[in-house]
Amino acid sequence: MKKKRILIVDDKETMRFLLTEALKPLGYKIETVGDGEAAIQHLAEKVYDLFIADYTISKMNDLELIRRIKKINPSLPILVVNTNGPESEILKNGALVCVKEPLNTSQLQIISQLIINDILPHAPFP
């Protein structure tokens, strides 16, 4: 069986490490990048099952990143880790779910599993 792939984008190395460590026990193939442009490049080259992004990343407006991802792969589920961004706007622009910081590792694991196993619908919540 092919390992499910997750791409994580966050401009903070510490956060990329924490997200990776939280999801590693679930057996996914995880790749990380530090900005939106690198994320777009990865998405153009590989297929992922889940995209996780921090709301405040450098080099690109976060809503622009979500819109560009949806143009590349409209069915790719996007999970946004959101400290203080406009949640309704994030969801309206194509993110599947927002997880508030401080991050709860168990919550992140459960939501990621639900998304990857197609138990959580791949459409923005109202």
CA atoms of 109 and 121, how far apart (whole Å): 16
Residue 77 included in any domain:
yes
Domain that holds residue 13: 5-116
In contact, 21 and 54? CB cutoff 8 Å: no
Residue 60 included in any domain:
yes
In a 13 Å sphere around the CA of 52, the CA atoms on its Cβ side amount to 27
Work out how many domains the chain is built from and give that number: 1
Token pair of 113 as six digits: 């599993």
Residue 121 included in any domain:
no
In contact, 53 and 61? CB cutoff 8 Å: no
In a 13 Å sphere around the CA of 78, the CA atoms on its Cβ side amount to 29
**DSSP letter (8 states) at residue 8:** E
pTM for this model (two decimals): 0.89
Residue 25 included in any domain:
yes
Chain length of the chain: 126
Residue 36 included in any domain:
yes
Which CATH number belongs to the domain containing residue 71 in this structure?
3.40.50.2300
At 1-41, the pLDDT tens digits run 689 999 999 989 999 999 999 999 999 999 999 999 999 99
Residue 122 included in any domain:
no
At 76-124, the pLDDT tens digits run 999 998 767 788 888 888 889 988 888 889 999 999 999 999 887 654 4
